[in-house]
Structure 1
Amino acid sequence: MDHTAHQHHHAHHDSGVSWRTAAQATLHCLTGCAIGEVLGMVIGTAAGLHNAATVVVSIALAFVFGYALTMRGVLRAGLPARQAFRVALAADTVSIAVMEVIDNTVVLGVPGAMDAGLGQFLFWASLALSLAMAFVLTTPVNRWMIGRGRGHAVVHAYH
C-alpha cells in the first residue's frame, strides 16, 4: 500500500471508530484500573502509608488488575500466557497510564482527600470523581488509538 493510500485508510478508519466503541474499551480498562486503584488506596490508607507510597501501590495494582482482565479474555480465546500478556501490554498500557495520571492527579488535588480515612465521605467522593474524570478524558485517547489499529483494537482480533 503506498503512503497516500495508507493515510487515506487511517483517516477513513479513524472516522469509523464510534464513541461507543471507545467508551466500551475505556470502561473495560477502567474496571481493572478502578479495582487496583481502590484496593491500593484502601491498603495504603488502612496501613497508614505515606501518600506517595499509597499512590505507588495504587498505580501498581491498577496495572496488574487492568492487564489481568484483558489477559483473562484472550486466554479464554486460546492464546498462550506469554502471548496473552503481550496483547494486554499492547492493548492497555497507554490507556492505564493516562487513567492513572488523571485519577491520581485529581485525588492528590482534592484538599484533604489523601489524608481522609476510609470511613470519610471525602475519601470515597474524591476517588469516585477521579475515576469518572479518568473515564471522560481517556475515552478520546482510546478512540484515537483504536482508529489507528492500536490499543483495544489489538484485543478484538481474539474475541
Structure 2
Amino acid sequence: MVLFSRSFVRKRMISLATTASVAATSFALAEVPKGTDHVRGAMPIQYVADQPAHSREKPFLSENAAAMNKMMADMTIKPSGDVDRDFVAMMVPHHQGAVDMAKAELKYGHNEQLRRLAREIVAKQQQEIMVMRDAVSDKRSSPAQSPEQPRAESSPQSDSTDGSVARDGMKMSR
C-alpha cells in the first residue's frame, strides 16, 4: 500500500525547499549588524576592476570609489538637535562627493559633453557648499528663531529686474 505518490512527495519537497529558502533569506536580510545606526546601503563601493576588460579604467574606478566611500562616511552624522546644521553636515559631503567624482571624469573622461557637465557640476556644487556653510555661520550670529514662530518666507519673491526668484536669501533663475 502506497500512502503518497511520488508526484505528491516531489511537489511537497519543492514547496518545503522554497519555503525554507525564503525564510532563510528573510532572516538574513532582517538581521541588523551590531553597532550600526545608519543606513544599510552605506557600504563601501567596490567595482570589478580586476577584469582585463576594465583594466584601463581602474584609476578612474578607484578614484570614484574613494570619493563615494568618503562621501558616505562623511554623511553619517550624529544628530545635533539643530535641523539646519544637520542638513548642512550631510549635504556638504554629498556635494563634495559630486565635486570629487566630476573631477575624476575631467581627469579620465573623453566625452566633451560629459566633461562640460562635469565642469558645471564642480562650479555649482562648490558654490552651493559655500552658500550652505555661510547660512549656518550666519545662523550663529543671528538671533535664534523660536520653534513656535513659523517662517514667513515660504512663498517665493519675484525680483522684477532679472526675472529670478528669491528663496531663503538665495536667487535662483527661472
Write 1 or 2 for the structure with the bigger share of strand. Answer: 2
TM-score, with normalisation over the residues of structure 2?
Answer: 0.27
Q: TM-score, normalised by structure 1?
A: 0.29
**Structure showing the higher helix proportion among its residues:** 1
User: Larger C-alpha radius of gyration, 1 or 2?
Assistant: 2
